[in-house]
Structures are given as C-alpha cells and as structure tokens.
Structure 1
Amino acid sequence: MNFPWLLLIVLTPLIGTLLLFVPKRFIPFSDKQIALYSSLITLIFVLFVAFIFDTSSTASTQFDVSYDWIPIFGISFHLGLTGISLVLIGLTAVLTPIVLVATEHEGMKKRKEFLMWILLVEASALAVFLARDLFLFYVVFEAMLVPIFFLVGRYGGPRRSAAALKFILFGLAGGLVMLAALIWLYFVGATQLGRGTFSITALSNELKMDVWTERWLFLGFFFAFALKAPMFPGHTWLPDTAEQATPGTSTMLIGILDKVGTYGMLAILLPIFPNASKEFAPIIIGLAVFGVIYAALVAMAQKDMKRTFAFISISHFGFIVMGIFSFTSIGMIGSTIYMVAHGLSTAALFLTAGYLIKQKDNSLINSFGGLTKIAPVMTGIFLIAALASIALPGMAGFVGEFMVLTGTFQRYQIPTIIATFGIILAAIYMLWLYQRVFTGTENKETKNIVDLNLKQTLVLSPLVVLTVLFGFYPAPVIKIAESAISNTMLQIGQTDPGPIISKVETK
C-alpha cells in the first residue's frame, strides 16, 4: 500500500485546528504559530507530491487513498490526485500561509476562532479538490460553506450579517439541487451497473444514460457549480459578500473556494455528462461571454474597491467557463492555468488593498488618491497585481487568457471575438481604479497613510514573484494540467478541431 500522502495533506490543517484548543501549558506555541506551521507543513507535503507526480502516467488518478465509508450505498472515502487537482491544491497550499500572516490584524477580538475557520477553509478546499467519490465531494462542497459564513458573519463589515446570510442561502440552494441530482444519479447507476456507486471514475467510464436523464442531471449539477463559481446570472451574492468580508476572507473565498465551481465543471460535469455538456455548451458559452462583458462594465461603475474586485473576478470566471466548454485541449488547459493566475492576482489585490483599507477603515475608491509618493512600495505591488489581473503579457494571467481565447476560437469564433472586448474593458477599469487610488492629488485623509513595512512586503512578495515567474515560464504547470486534460478529452470522446497544443517538453 502506498503512503497516504493525500490523506496527510487534508488532515494536517485539521490537526492544526484541534491544536489551537489544546491548553498552552502543553504546547509551546502561540495560536498564530500553530496555524502558520500547520499551513506550512501542508505546503511542504503538497510540494513533495508535486515533485513526484508522474505527468507521463496514463492513470486517471495517482496517490489514491480509499476506505469504505458507507459500503451499503457504495460510498467510500476516496482521495485521488489528477493534474487539475494538483494545480488547485498547490494554489490552496500557497495562499493559506500568506493569508494567515498578511491578516494578523484581522479578527483580533476572536483570533483563535478566526484562525480555526481559515484552517477549515483550507482543509475543505483540499478535500474537495482531491475527492474521487461524488458523495464525499458533495459533503465537503456543502461543509465549506460553514467557515466562510462565520468568517463573514463575525468579522466582516457593518452589513456582515445580511451578506453572510445571502452567501449561505445561495450556497444551500445550489447544494440542495445537487443533492437531488446526486440521489437520482445514484439510482440510475444502480439500475444500469447493477450496483450503487458514487465513484467519479466508475460513473465517468461505465455509466451510459438516456438523453433526457443526462440532460436533467447535468442541469442539476451545473446549477450548483454555476452558483459557486459564480457565473452570471447567479453571481449576485459575491459582490455583497466581498464588500463585507475582510480582505483575508475574500482572498480565501474568491482566490480558492470559488474555483470549486469551475473545477466541478471540468472534473465532474464533462466526464460524467459528456453528451449533455456538448449539447448545452453553446448556451453556456453565450452566458459566459455575456458575463465577461457585463461584469466588466459594472466593475467600472463601482465606488467600493472590494466590490470592484468582485466584479473583476466574475468577468474572469466567464473566461474560465469559456475555456472549459470550448471542448478543446488548449481551452481546457488554459482554464486550469487561468484559475491559478486569477488566484494569485486576486490575493495580491485584496491583501494589498487590505493594508490600505485597515489604515482608513474605509474601502471607498474616492477616499484615496496621491499615494504614489506616500506609499511607493504598496503602489508598486498593487500595480503589478493590477497588470496581472488584466492579463498583461509577461504576467500569469496572459498565459491562461490567451490559451482560453485560442481554444474557444477553434469552435466559437463570434463569441470569442465579442469576449475580447472584455480584455479592453479590463484594462480600462483596472487602470482607472489604479489612477484614482494611487495617482492624482493627495487629500487630507490620505496624508497619514503609511507604506508597507519590510514584513508586509516580504509577505506579499511571493505573490508578485509567482505571478511574474508563472507568466514567463508556465511550462511546468501546463505540463501537469495537460496530463489531466488528455484523459478528460478521451473520456468525453472529443478531439481537437484544429492544431492541438504542442506537447510541453521540459529538461
């Protein structure tokens, strides 16, 4: 039996959560140290697994860990690693310790509980990206609502209760529809396969459904994933939540957990419901393109910095969905890359803005101005994050966006051309935001703003380095994602309509 690395990865932040409540006379570490060390150990385990991950393997998953959970229903605690999940658990493991250090000023009244919820967000994200049993996936999919609900409801802004309630209601609505579809799928599988199973691999490879059953089941799962992503028109909960949440919470939510929706589309919808996915693809592409343009236009009209970032993310998720439903290798790989790039740039935006907002207790754009001379380091980091967000060549976002547009254009030329206007709008709203906050004339309220100190700069520097490094040398991540997308294309019986993305060779 192989060593259960994946189980260890999921358990480490959970163990850290438990250690937070052990009396300090038994543990010579502070709560902050326990949380940080737990997240760093998790990162080490993820890096080790990434190092030994075999990109040439034809197996659908690697490092599998499987235990019978509820055998009477064919439910198992099954974790497995694909190229897509490896990329996303890597993003999760990188962002969590950065958030823990960068948000040491957040949740001071109930710091222990704040740290606990952050670690639970990490554990649930790792588990959902690694789950290979659909029932386990659903349980974690729903459970991850709880820590975000408390992070927003207890530590957010003045309207935090309403925002937290809206968040949980949207999440539960999607989860209930998914549960109904999950139960239906179980009985379809039991009837056809002669056994009840929630194995994602078995359902993808063995189950054949009639047309209407597959359509309805697809819509049930897609509804849940589209709300989680969030995708237009089920996006309305995100701006309210991001506005009221702390910058650290928003980073965990938008940078990590929202990827669960697009991950579900790519890793579950397409393999299990290939025919329905192809059938609904034109409609979904249309909604995604509309979301790209709509969210970009609305972002330009926002007065609050955090709401602007939320609408920027909604626009970006439109690009990600386009790549997924392009049914091309380059488009799907591009979506995977885009998820990582978006996570890095979003984290840099929210956390840099968080240092600024903390000093004024205000996130209104018009409250700032002329910060270039007062806070040059903060200005520089924010500018790099902004340029990455608009997918400037040489930044991480450019690689994913270019691949998504290239892949989608192979099948949907007109929607792709329309979506490119979103790139222009992105440059306008992001640079306009930068101009209003950091350039221009100083006002009385910004004269007392203090620039980032050495510690804060060092905390944010990994995001800057990874954003630039990823932009110039994306080959290793592309190679990892390509290994999974090749299997997905085989599962759905799809071939590329034009030139296939060249195999990435690394020395």
Structure 2
Amino acid sequence: MILFLFILIPVLGAFAAWLSAAWNKKLPRWIALMVLVFELAMATAFWSEAVGDGSWYVTFIRPWMPRFGISFSLAMDGLSLLMLILTFFLGALSVLVSWNEIKERTGFFFFNLLFVLAGITGVFLTMDLFLFYFFWEVMLIPMYFLIGIWGHGNRLYAALKFFIFTQAGGLLMLLAILGLYFVHAQSTGVFTFNYFDLLNTPMAQETGRWLMLGFLIAFIVKLPAFPFHTWLPDAHTEAPTAGSVVLAGLLLKTGAYGILRFVLPLFPEASQYFAPYIMLLGAIGILYGGKLAYAQTDFKRLVAYTSVSHMGFVLVGAFAFNELAYQGVVMQMITHGISTGALFMIAGSLYDRLHTRELEEMGGLWPALPGMGVVTMVFVMASLGLPGLGNFIAEFLILAGSWQAQPWITVAATIGLVVATVYSLRIMQKVFFGVSVREYKLPDLSLREALMFVPLVIVIIWLGVYPQPVINTAKPATPAVAVHFTSK
C-alpha cells in the first residue's frame, strides 16, 4: 500500500494546492512543500528499515483490465528507492526555489509541479508496461505547461519542441510495448503486460532487435543522448528554475532508469549486439556536449549542455555489462541530479539579482556574493569530477567498468573529463572572478537559499566521501538489470 501512497499523495496535494489558491495565493507553495517533505521523510524512513526477499522490498498488485492482461502493478527495489528519494528531495527544493519566483497563477503552477513529480514516481515504481507508458505520458503534459506558461521569452517554442520530441519517442516505445505483448502471446498463449512475465519472452533474434530499438530510442531521447538532444538546451533555457531542476535532476533520469530496468533485461541479446555502437554514441555525446557547453555565453544554456555530456557516461556504463559500471551509472544518476540541479538553482538566484544570464555581463561577483561563490565552487568542482565529491565516484566506477568492455571508447570518454574541467572552470572565471563589469551591491545568500543549498552541499560531499550506503542499496538490484550478461 505504501507504493500506491507514494503516487497518490502528490496527486491529492496537486489538487489541494490548485484549489487553495482561491483563498490565499501563498497557500499552494506551503501545501506543495509539506507534501514533498512528508514523501521524502517516508521514503528515507523506508530506506533506513528496508528489508525484502531477494532484490525486491515490496510489491503492490491489483487487477485493472484483466481481459487485456493489464494490472496496477507496482514494485520497489534498491534502484527504485534511490530514485524516489532523489525525486522527493529535488522536488522539495524545487518548491523552495519557486517561493518568490512564481507570482502569477501559483495554484496551477504547484499543481503542475506536484503532478509531474507524481508521474515520475509512477515511472520509477510501475511493473506493468501499459501502466509504465501511462505514467511516461503523465510526466509530459504538466512539464509542457511549466515551460509554456511560466518560462522565459521563447517559452512556447521550447515547450512545443520538448513535447514533440518526447511524444515521438513515447509513441515508438508504445509500438515496441505492443509488439512485445503480441510476441509473448504468440509464444506462450498468455496476453500480459506484466514485466516479470515478459522478462524471458522467446522471440526471433531480429524481432528482439527491432523491439529493443523502439524502447531504446524513447529512453535516449529523454536522456538525452546525441543526436536526439536538441530539445534539451531550449527547454532548460526557457523553463522556470524549478522546471530546469526537475528536467535535469529527474526527467532525464527516467530515460536512464528505462534503459537499466527495461532495455537490458527484456532484450539481452539485442543489447549486447548494439552495445559497442551505443557506447560509442555515449562517448561522442560526452565530447560533443562538453564542447558546446564551453561555447555558450548563457549560464543556463551552458549547464544544459553539460547534461548532454554527463548523460553520455550513463550510456557508456549501462552497456558495459559490468557490475562496477552499473553501480557507477546509478551513482551518476543521483550525483548529476544533485550537482546540475544545484547549478540551475544558482543560475536562477543570480538571475534574480542581476536580471541577466549572460556570462559576459557578469564577472567579479565574489566580493559581493562570497556565500554564493563558495556554493558555486562546490558544484562546479563536482561537475568536473573533483575527488571527494559524488560525481568523481560515479565517473570513476563507470570508466573502471567500461574499460573491461571497450578500452578505446573508455579512453575517449576519459578525455571528456578534461573538457569538463575547462567548461566548469570557465563558469567560475566568468561569473565570480575576472574583471567586474559594474559596481555590485547585492544581497548574499538568504535564509531560504541557505535552506536550499546547504543540504545539496552536504549530500554531494557525503556521496563523494562515503558512497557505500548508496552502492549497497543499488547492488541487490543488479541481477534484475544485468543478470543475463557476462563480461566480454
């Protein structure tokens, strides 16, 4: 029942936030914050006491449309649990970052924010492929509204581009789900969308490869991987700060989660067949995203392209078929969400003060904003993979694992760390050091901003110094996504 509550509570909170705006425009943000803090506390408490049979902690199954083999099937393992904690943690911070930024239609804003988080929660918990597709689409519409209504200048174009790319990928996945559904029925005589029943579906080699590509394209569009990444910079740049945090920290992770949960276990032969090409695509994305990040003059657009680069490591690690690389991918999903989410929050805070995101119009901010400078330094160092911070652990595990599968691709991916150092240090140089372009008298970190950034700093350092609890939680889930594979 707890799994159902994880989804139901944000949905009920979304409607409560929307309706409460009729009485008080400040009430929706308090409702949203309380809902997400409660969800985070519930998930963290579950983590501290989590026990289960094998890799699964708890399951929840109710018939939905049994005639078609559709059930309301939810399950949680270590991977799902970690993603839920990340979702509610960044969700609560997204409410705080929107506290003063969103002044119009606050009820509808927090309705959409909570609803997109409910959809993301459903994606991380569902074990029925029809239900998975349902939640996959549920994420799409509220995010479209968040960008299209509360975004910046070119918001409608960015929202439409986001919608078209992700909807097209989702339709390909729907066709692949239906294909797998009928292939399984043809082989077994049973029509079902249940994940566990579909795991070992006998199918022709060529059929498996085509179906796998249907799932994979949908997930790498959302990831996003080169060359399907072009929607991301526009969406990030035009979205409100909370929208950018949810996009970078959570929506991108649904693509990575889909690869680990569905692509690899459902299509083991096809995954091995395409693995070298997908790893190469990941390495290209690492270098290409890093190069474009360095070329940007808009702070948010720069951070957006770093996501393309960092998510390339997910493809390299996921298709290395190595437990070490798998653990690195899970760490990368978490640490990237935290570090990149924090950089978008910093971009939003600077925009509130300076009313610009152009790096060329900044410079010399450290004397005026020393607290903000320290926080930015931490997450810039995390982004470039400094030892002692969480991103280093993630990328080190991925590269150590992928070396056993494809050494030359690993070398190319490692060069991306040098590129990351260049564009990350450029942020500090352009924003906080260098020559000041004007005289600044700006307020440093407020209490609300300190409540946002201090937990992020603590978590990214904790993951860099003591990542073992996260690795131990993810490890039992490894057979569920990689049990079919052996090192090459």
Partner of 1:209: 203
Superposition deviation, residue 217 in structure 1 = 0.1
Correspondence for 1:58 among 54, 59, 62: 54
Residue 8 (str. 1) matches residue 8 (str. 2): no
Residue 472 (str. 1) matches residue 469 (str. 2): no
Q: State the distance in 2 between where 1:449 and 1:79 align.
A: 49
Correspondence for 1:240 among 230, 234, 237: 234
Equivalent runs, 1:113-192 vs 2, <5 Å: 113-192=108-187
Query: Relative to structure 2, which stretch is displaced further, 271-280 or 78-87?
Result: 78-87
CA distance 1:442–1:15, shift in 2 (3 Å): same
8 Å CA contact retained: 1:46, 1:89: yes
Equivalent runs, 1:32-43 vs 2, <5 Å: 32-43=29-40
Partner of 2:286: 292
Q: State the distance in 2 between where 1:24 and 1:295 align.
A: 41
* Count of matched residue positions in the alignment of Structure 1 and Structure 2: 488
Partner of 2:390: 396
Superposed CA deviations along residues 242-295 of structure 1, whole A, max 9, x for unmatched, are 111112110001110111111101100001001000000000011110110111
8 Å CA contact retained: 1:375, 1:451: yes
CA distance 1:199–1:120, shift in 2 (3 Å): same
Partner of 1:505: none
Equivalent runs, 1:9-28 vs 2, <5 Å: 9-22=6-19
Superposition deviation, residue 389 in structure 1 = 1.1
Letter in 1 for 2:287: I
Residue 346 (str. 1) matches residue 340 (str. 2): yes
Superposed CA deviations along residues 129-160 of structure 1, whole A, max 9, x for unmatched, are 00111111111111211111000000111100
What stretches of structure 2 of length at least 5 have no aligned partner?
none
Q: State the distance in 1 between where 2:91 and 2:238 align.
A: 20
Q: State the distance in 1 between where 2:343 and 2:14 align.
A: 27
What stretches of structure 1 of length at least 5 have no aligned partner?
498-507
Letter in 1 for 2:385: A
Superposition deviation, residue 25 in structure 1 = 9.7
SS at match of 2:367: helix
8 Å CA contact retained: 1:92, 1:256: yes
Q: State the distance in 2 between where 1:54 and 1:387 align.
A: 36
SS at match of 2:61: strand
Q: State the distance in 2 between where 1:123 and 1:384 align.
A: 30
SS at match of 1:392: coil
Residue 30 (str. 1) matches residue 24 (str. 2): no
8 Å CA contact retained: 2:19, 2:107: no
Q: State the distance in 2 between where 1:306 and 1:488 align.
A: 34
Superposition deviation, residue 488 in structure 1 = 2.6
Q: State the distance in 1 between where 2:250 and 2:384 align.
A: 19
Q: State the distance in 1 between where 2:188 and 2:442 align.
A: 65
Partner of 1:495: 486
Q: State the distance in 1 between where 2:139 and 2:22 align.
A: 31
8 Å CA contact retained: 1:84, 1:481: yes
Superposed CA deviations along residues 444-478 of structure 1, whole A, max 9, x for unmatched, are 2x614321123311221100000001110000000
Letter in 1 for 2:318: I
Superposition deviation, residue 26 in structure 1 = 9.4
Query: Relative to structure 2, which stretch is displaced further, 294-303 or 46-55?
Result: 46-55
Q: State the distance in 2 between where 1:54 and 1:344 align.
A: 26
Partner of 1:422: 416
Letter in 2 for 1:20: A
Partner of 1:363: 357
Q: State the distance in 2 between where 1:460 and 1:489 align.
A: 35
8 Å CA contact retained: 2:380, 2:424: yes
Superposed CA deviations along residues 408-463 of structure 1, whole A, max 9, x for unmatched, are 0011001101111100010011101210111012222x614321123311221100
Q: State the distance in 2 between where 1:407 and 1:355 align.
A: 38
TM-score (ref. length: structure 2): 0.97
Partner of 1:282: 276
Letter in 1 for 2:210: W
Q: State the distance in 1 between where 2:265 and 2:211 align.
A: 13
Correspondence for 2:84 among 68, 82, 89: 89
Superposition deviation, residue 28 in structure 1 = 13
CA distance 1:28–1:371, shift in 2 (3 Å): closer
8 Å CA contact retained: 2:96, 2:448: no
Partner of 1:504: none
CA distance 1:435–1:28, shift in 2 (3 Å): closer
Letter in 2 for 1:495: T
Superposition deviation, residue 24 in structure 1 = 7.6
Superposition deviation, residue 347 in structure 1 = 1.3
Superposed CA deviations along residues 28-87 of structure 1, whole A, max 9, x for unmatched, are 9922211111111111111122122227x424x321111111111101111100211111
Superposition deviation, residue 496 in structure 1 = 4.0
Letter in 2 for 1:344: I
SS at match of 1:258: helix
